[in-house]
Structure 1
Amino acid sequence: MIPSTCAIAGIGATEFSKDSGRSELRLAVEAVRAALDDAGLRPGDVAGLVTFGMDNNPEIAVARELGIGELRFLSRIGYGGGAACAVVQQAVLAVDAGLADVVVCYRALNERSGRRFGRPVTPPDPDAGWHYPMGLATPAAMIAMVARRYLHDYGATTDDFGRVAVAMRRHAATNPAAWFAGRPITLDEHRASRWIAEPLRLLDCCQESDGAVALVVTSLSRARDLSARPAVIAAAAQGSGPDQFVMTSYYRSEVAALPEMSVVGCQLWEQSGLGPADVRAAVLYDHFTPYVMMQLEELGFCGRGEARHFLADGAIELDGRLPVNPHGGQLGEAYIHGMNGITEAVRQIRGTAANQIPGDGPILVTAGTGVPTSGLILRSG
């Protein structure tokens, strides 16, 4: 069990756009500087940097541009969006081990104006050899196979996927920082959006965004003396399921499932001493709408195949039983590989979110699914 000895003490982000007009390194530096300013810290206070294996900005370059000076801890986490919460876990481990007292996690990308993840590329790893020859060369195409099996196994329809998209866009509509601020959609608009890879429509797929996000992790005792209200890291976990592939796994006995998220969820509940009923709101990695439904099931908010019923009664709305992605998620706010979801969780803990969920209960955050993944539980402190 990870004791609640660390906290997120600062958050920072650039604007979210489709063409940032500047380099990814500049975006990273802007976000880190904003996070340090939020915490009331200086670059010289930073002893460690953690980012994604896919980030193009070396830790030493970020440190050099900010004037951080010496670093005592550097780390990167692989598996794309699955790293989002794991970078925070890595920072916690460094702080708890006494390796670095202040660690900054960052992710910067020009994913719309630069390399677009939705386009086929040279197979990135040996696992791709199993599905690239069959034409499954984009994330949407790979996940469409699992989505089709989910519909078959549980009697769900593409309208159920649409209900997720509509809710996320509704939440984004009242978030001034969201790309889709003021632009909700209807279920009919979802139905009319073009196919990307059947049964996934355009509005089932997350955005392609430019931007950067950074987080400052330090000990809880130090965080309490800094500028902003700390968000206590009550639990942090990583997980990979049996027979794991990337982006999804076709050779398991049960295809329409995300066992890696179950591995993470079990650790989160055990570490924190909490359960699904205790969660005030959930920030779920919504790169594709069916994976939101499957996460609800894997994390124990409803039974296997029951997410469609959970959605039907408005449970994920802002006033529902489990508000999901009050900021609009990656479907509505921006796709910054899940890092903007962590900043939303911190805002919810601080009471400063655009769509603030009442109460003082904990906030659950998840990272990318279909790959080895990670999760967090944040609480006030």
Structure 2
Amino acid sequence: MKFPLRDATAIAGVGCTEYSRQSGVSTLTLAVRAIQRALADAGLTERDVDGVACHRIADSADPAMVAQALGIREPTFVGDVFGGGSSCLAPLDAAGKAVATGQARCVVVWRALNARSGPRMSSAAAMPGLSSDAQYWLPYQHLSAPQQFAMFARAYMHKYGITAEDLGRVAINQRDNAVRNPRAMMRTPITMADYLGARWIAEPLRLFDCCLESDAAVALVITSAERSRDLRRTPVTITATAFGGGNQLTSNRHADITVSGAAAMAPRLYAAAGVGPEDIDVAEFYDAFTPLVPLQLADYGFCAPGEASSMIADGATRIGGRIPVNTHGGHLSEGYVHGLNHVVEAVHQLRGDCGERQVAGAEVALCTGQPGVSSGLTAATILKRAA
């Protein structure tokens, strides 16, 4: 089977704003700032851009506003993706295909949100607009994201004998990575005592099991792999992206809510990329909640189901281990920019410019969206450092 899009396009620049609890500016301003920084990183300007693509949940500046603010009068490609974390990689995929097929020469991709100072993403009031499943949850006052993922967490822990301490190691490891990341919101180390002593959010999920609510924006610059070689930074090619189904908690009749869509999708992703899990040097897993990390270690083939906790305990997922995970601190400790900040970190890792948190010799990275727990979709992408 031929894969004509494999490594045809590249991420030529990345940029981000400060991760904060109170940005003090609009999401339009956040988006433009991140895009300008990504363009400067690539050695390009707004005049080079002819395509725009974003991911949002009616909580951000729309592409038309951003294009106008950048001075792009007639974009040749516009992508506007609605949805939660399962959709976070869709604008990256769409931008790459637009460039590869000649619809655009240079597309900026972004996610901007004031999720802490603005409408709170975790609030129950925000959930009915995200899913038609909400009609089944509302009578039981079961609406917020922590409540939904708590159901999965309890079932997953019961099935595989996972303990609170196992989840605590995920949070502690990622906080250790964030300590070495100047962008991270949370840079104070935590201990197991800190983790176990934290308040409940939705049992069995404690405070440190849950991702941060952040005000921030991140942006990517997508162009052809050929053109990227002449730009400022080491290009990172988009090797493959794949999409798959997922498990909505109430609507699609999954017999086992601990089985995610990522497990079925991963073989297609690896086939499209021409690599396997043994070739991945760093994994940036979507980590809205700690149980999603061990789940994805198994789903993406790094261990057998049920073995992820011992793998984490043995240090395999730490920097210097067999497969470093969420080297920036992830959503749990760096900030929550709905998955795209994981792509920014992967690019930095593949360029080799992460300083003391750098994974030695990193050439291939896996970035994932929400693995399809409590949603009907999932997606992931594999990136490579250009030769």
How would you bin the TM-score normalised by the shorter chain? over 0.9
Q: Deviations over 1:184-207 (max 9, x none)?
A: 111111100111111000100000
Question: Superposition pairs for residues 12-161 of structure 1, below 5 Å?
Answer: 12-54=15-57, 55-121=59-125, 123-124=128-129, 125-161=131-167
Q: Deviations over 1:58-84 (max 9, x none)?
A: 111111111122201111223212222
Residue 220 (str. 1) matches residue 256 (str. 2): no
Take 1:151 and 1:310, find their aligned partners in 2: how far apart are those partners? 16
Aligned to 2:296: 295
8 Å CA contact 1:44, 1:69 repeated in 2: no
- Cα distance, 1:170 vs. partner? 0.6
8 Å CA contact 1:101, 1:219 repeated in 2: yes
8 Å CA contact 1:52, 1:76 repeated in 2: yes
Take 2:158 and 2:330, find their aligned partners in 1: how far apart are those partners? 27
3-state SS of 1:229 partner: coil
Take 2:335 and 2:251, find their aligned partners in 1: how far apart are those partners? 26
8 Å CA contact 2:282, 2:362 repeated in 1: no
- Cα distance, 1:254 vs. partner? 1.4
Take 1:102 and 1:237, find their aligned partners in 2: how far apart are those partners? 22
Q: Name the count of aligned residue pairs.
A: 376
8 Å CA contact 1:102, 1:218 repeated in 2: yes
Range with greater deviation from structure 2 (342-351 or 54-63) = 54-63
Q: Deviations over 1:134-185 (max 9, x none)?
A: 221100000101110111111111111111000010100111111112x011
- The two structures, once aligned, show a CA RMSD in angstroms of 1.5
8 Å CA contact 2:56, 2:111 repeated in 1: no
Aligned-pair identity in percent equals: 43
8 Å CA contact 1:172, 1:180 repeated in 2: yes
Structure 1 residue ranges (4+ consecutive) displaced by more than 6 angstroms after TM superposition? none
8 Å CA contact 1:86, 1:375 repeated in 2: no
User: What TM-score does the superposition give when structure 1 sets the normalisation length?
Assistant: 0.95
Aligned to 1:368: 370
8 Å CA contact 1:249, 1:255 repeated in 2: no
User: What TM-score does the superposition give when structure 2 sets the normalisation length?
Assistant: 0.94
Q: Which amino acid aligns with 2:67?
A: A
Aligned to 1:206: 211
Range with greater deviation from structure 2 (366-375 or 84-93) = 366-375
8 Å CA contact 1:276, 1:300 repeated in 2: yes
Take 1:223 and 1:162, find their aligned partners in 2: how far apart are those partners? 41
- Cα distance, 1:249 vs. partner? 7.0
Take 2:151 and 2:362, find their aligned partners in 1: how far apart are those partners? 39
8 Å CA contact 2:284, 2:326 repeated in 1: yes
8 Å CA contact 1:50, 1:59 repeated in 2: yes
Take 2:89 and 2:268, find their aligned partners in 1: how far apart are those partners? 13
Aligned to 2:179: 173
Q: Which amino acid aligns with 2:299?
A: E
Take 2:293 and 2:252, find their aligned partners in 1: how far apart are those partners? 19
Take 1:302 and 1:142, find their aligned partners in 2: how far apart are those partners? 26
8 Å CA contact 1:103, 1:217 repeated in 2: yes
Residue 245 (str. 1) matches residue 248 (str. 2): yes
3-state SS of 1:254 partner: coil
Q: Which amino acid aligns with 1:274?
A: V
Point out where structure 1 has 5 or more consecutive residues left out of the alignment.
Answer: none
- Cα distance, 1:230 vs. partner? 0.5
- Cα distance, 1:375 vs. partner? 1.1
Change (3 A) 1:174 1:375: same
- Cα distance, 1:132 vs. partner? 2.5
8 Å CA contact 1:318, 1:326 repeated in 2: yes
8 Å CA contact 1:169, 1:332 repeated in 2: yes
3-state SS of 1:77 partner: strand
Take 1:129 and 1:306, find their aligned partners in 2: how far apart are those partners? 36
3-state SS of 1:289 partner: coil
Take 1:251 and 1:190, find their aligned partners in 2: how far apart are those partners? 35
Point out where structure 2 has 5 or more consecutive residues left out of the alignment.
Answer: none
Take 1:101 and 1:83, find their aligned partners in 2: how far apart are those partners? 23
Take 1:343 and 1:349, find their aligned partners in 2: how far apart are those partners? 10
Q: Which amino acid aligns with 1:19?
A: Q
